[in-house]
Structure 1
């Protein structure tokens, strides 16, 4: 954490033309056992992208090789990009079957309440703030000495960088663990895809749950199932569908709690 503090002080004395990555550890406490993943907030000037380490690697490969790396058979829930000059924030969505890209304009206003409470996280003196977003109450601890007014996922707008962020239900807990500077452009800006509404997004999820192979059939795409080594596996679409449906039910705990899809 001392290294993070030093880096934040260094950033405060430089322009934001450099590509900086803030790495957060996300503890998903909603399921049995604690699920931990790493997420990157890649910042370049007043623009940023927030996504999982795996999604970031997939974007890098897509930019380099022109093809998508296989992803989980569920919708990517925690992926966003921001333009803090225009104050535009978007949730990015990748269809798990066809890899079609969509985005949703997040126009919810984050009404932050900055509180006098202070807490030292590692070597960083942080201040407390709270807000409500999409059915959850959030508690943030931010560094008022940092010039970066950004944070995990769609959260930003505090007078400093968000170091820790959690919801009061205890489902999500983001913690800043590392900062890296890079000479390369790690933003990986690709096509944004098609803009959709929340209702369309929910319908995409429902349709995929009901028939994960509907788009494959509609586009007359030939498919085959293989194991990790690429060897053919005899398994029915019915079995695969049931497996995908089970995974979708088990992971059905989005940050946007008021927009959750109720699967049968």
Structure 2
């Protein structure tokens, strides 16, 4: 088993305590996604959506784990590091009254944020579908470089959903892009009366600047200069190859294709 001495992690593990809201519910979503269009092999990752009547906060389960984990130079094994690694670093807060969202990126002890209007134009149909024993209505929209097909439930009258997909007259139970490379499905919804902290003291940047920071954080290999490989120095090259292969496969990503157009 490979072990490395961590002077810095590949993604950020410090949580900035700040503003937030009192949640009423927590929705658990599972995302199925395809990185490589050639193999069409699906991967999965779990996400949480915390919300009340007016606000929501969406992030990966792995980001939640990282909030409670601090690295202070100790030795960790590679499996432990990889278990916390995610390609989905965004933390997204949505304000239903203002119909806008803020997207946060944690880089070390600094949070960056860009803000965007989120009033999507939905076409709601009469088509219905039962998903996980919930009767849903179908709606479609185009946003973030993709066409989306969503199913929402008016049994839960909250205008929220996963990622940046919001604004329907009911909680989104399922949503996928028309190319079937990304799909979120609601696994569970439960009451959750807790204060949800949202990063404060953040640095506001443009969407373009944010995406460049994001790309650098995920794929900048200079971070390996700060890592000492204890048992097998050659493992560094293996890790570099793995990162480059992951970047090659991201021809369908990110979820917001504006990033792809900026980075190309």
TM-score tier after normalising by the smaller chain length: 0.7 to 0.9
CA gap of 1:190–1:232, structure 2 versus 1, over 3 A, is farther
Give 1:225's aligned residue: 228
d(CA) in 1 for partners of 2:262, 2:45: 25
Please say if 1:87 is aligned against 2:99.
Answer: yes
1:172 Cα shift?
A: 0.7
Structure 1 alignment gaps of length 5 or more: 1-15, 218-222
**Are 1:77 and 1:254, in contact at CA under 8 Å, matched by a contact in 2?**
no
d(CA) in 2 for partners of 1:82, 1:179: 18
Give 1:203's aligned residue: 212
Q: Secondary structure at the match of 1:179?
A: strand
CA-to-aligned-CA distance 1:71-111 (integer Å, 9 cap, x gap): 53x7535531112233220222234xx46421221225310
d(CA) in 2 for partners of 1:104, 1:202: 10
d(CA) in 2 for partners of 1:109, 1:182: 26
> RMSD over aligned Cα, in angstroms?
3.3
Please say if 1:189 is aligned against 2:193.
Answer: no
Give 1:9's aligned residue: none
**Are 2:114 and 2:205, in contact at CA under 8 Å, matched by a contact in 1?**
yes
1:133 Cα shift?
A: 0.6
**The 10-residue stretch of structure 1 (165-174 or 238-247) with the greater mean CA deviation from structure 2:** 238-247
d(CA) in 1 for partners of 2:147, 2:174: 14
d(CA) in 2 for partners of 1:133, 1:225: 43
CA gap of 1:261–1:249, structure 2 versus 1, over 3 A, is farther
d(CA) in 1 for partners of 2:202, 2:22: 26
Structure 2 alignment gaps of length 5 or more: 1-20, 73-79
**Are 2:63 and 2:89, in contact at CA under 8 Å, matched by a contact in 1?**
no
User: Greater relative contact order (Cα 8 A, min sep 6): structure 1 or 2?
Assistant: 2
The TM-score normalised by the length of structure 2 is 0.73
Q: 1:35 aligns with which of 33, 36, 43?
A: 43
In the TM superposition, what are the counterparts of 1:117-196 in structure 2 within 5 Å?
A: 117-185=127-195, 187-191=196-200, 193-196=202-205
CA-to-aligned-CA distance 1:99-145 (integer Å, 9 cap, x gap): 64212212253101111111122332211110001210001111123
1:147 Cα shift?
A: 1.7
d(CA) in 2 for partners of 1:26, 1:131: 19
1:169 Cα shift?
A: 0.7
**Are 1:28 and 1:173, in contact at CA under 8 Å, matched by a contact in 2?**
yes
**Are 1:225 and 1:235, in contact at CA under 8 Å, matched by a contact in 2?**
no
The TM-score normalised by the length of structure 1 is 0.73
Higher strand share: 2
CA gap of 1:238–1:202, structure 2 versus 1, over 3 A, is farther
d(CA) in 2 for partners of 1:55, 1:122: 26
- For these two proteins, the number of residue pairs brought into alignment is 231
d(CA) in 1 for partners of 2:59, 2:219: 27
